[in-house]
Amino acid sequence: MNLDLETRLLEELSDEAAFALCELLNELAQAFESRYYHQLLSYHSARQADLFDPDQPWIRRQPAGD
Protein backbone atom coordinates (compact mmCIF):
# COMPACT_ATOMS: atom_id res chain seq x y z
CA MET A 1 0.00 0.00 0.00
CA ASN A 2 1.51 3.28 -1.07
CA LEU A 3 -0.45 6.32 0.03
CA ASP A 4 0.90 9.78 -0.59
CA LEU A 5 -0.10 11.09 2.82
CA GLU A 6 2.19 14.10 2.66
CA THR A 7 -0.02 15.75 0.03
CA ARG A 8 -3.20 14.91 1.97
CA LEU A 9 -2.20 16.65 5.20
CA LEU A 10 -3.53 20.08 6.04
CA GLU A 11 -1.08 22.90 5.44
CA GLU A 12 -1.50 24.55 8.83
CA LEU A 13 -2.89 23.48 12.17
CA SER A 14 -2.76 25.22 15.48
CA ASP A 15 -0.49 23.63 18.09
CA GLU A 16 -3.56 22.49 20.03
CA ALA A 17 -5.22 20.97 16.93
CA ALA A 18 -2.01 19.20 15.90
CA PHE A 19 -1.68 17.72 19.40
CA ALA A 20 -5.35 16.63 19.49
CA LEU A 21 -5.11 15.04 16.05
CA CYS A 22 -1.91 13.24 17.00
CA GLU A 23 -3.54 11.89 20.17
CA LEU A 24 -6.57 10.72 18.19
CA LEU A 25 -4.44 8.93 15.60
CA ASN A 26 -2.36 7.24 18.30
CA GLU A 27 -5.48 6.06 20.11
CA LEU A 28 -6.95 4.81 16.82
CA ALA A 29 -3.76 2.89 16.00
CA GLN A 30 -3.65 1.32 19.47
CA ALA A 31 -7.33 0.34 19.32
CA PHE A 32 -6.85 -1.13 15.84
CA GLU A 33 -3.81 -3.15 16.89
CA SER A 34 -5.61 -4.35 20.00
CA ARG A 35 -8.70 -5.38 18.05
CA TYR A 36 -6.86 -7.09 15.18
CA TYR A 37 -3.73 -8.24 17.04
CA HIS A 38 -4.11 -11.93 16.25
CA GLN A 39 -4.80 -11.30 12.57
CA LEU A 40 -1.82 -8.97 12.29
CA LEU A 41 0.40 -11.48 14.07
CA SER A 42 -0.81 -14.30 11.84
CA TYR A 43 -0.19 -12.26 8.69
CA HIS A 44 3.28 -11.22 9.83
CA SER A 45 4.21 -14.79 10.80
CA ALA A 46 3.03 -16.17 7.46
CA ARG A 47 5.08 -13.56 5.55
CA GLN A 48 8.17 -14.33 7.64
CA ALA A 49 7.77 -18.06 7.04
CA ASP A 50 7.60 -17.46 3.28
CA LEU A 51 10.96 -15.69 3.33
CA PHE A 52 12.94 -18.86 4.01
CA ASP A 53 13.15 -22.14 2.13
CA PRO A 54 13.12 -25.00 4.66
CA ASP A 55 15.57 -26.93 2.46
CA GLN A 56 17.94 -23.95 2.08
CA PRO A 57 17.33 -21.64 5.07
CA TRP A 58 20.49 -19.65 4.35
CA ILE A 59 18.90 -18.30 1.16
CA ARG A 60 16.41 -15.51 1.75
CA ARG A 61 13.49 -15.20 -0.69
CA GLN A 62 12.09 -11.91 -1.88
CA PRO A 63 8.78 -11.08 -0.13
CA ALA A 64 5.70 -11.31 -2.33
CA GLY A 65 4.61 -7.95 -3.68
CA ASP A 66 8.00 -6.26 -3.26
Look at residue 64 in the predicted model and tell me its pLDDT. Answer: 61
Look at residue 32 in the predicted model and tell me its pLDDT. Answer: 97
Residues 1-28, mean pLDDT to the nearest whole number: 85
pTM over 0.75: no
Amino acid letter, 26: N
Percent of the chain with pLDDT over 70: 82
Span 29-40, pLDDT tens digits = 999 999 999 999
Residues 23-31, mean pLDDT to the nearest whole number: 97
DSSP-assigned letters across all residues of 20-47: HHHHHHHHHHHHHHHHTHHHHHHHHHHH
- In this structure, the chain runs to a length of 66
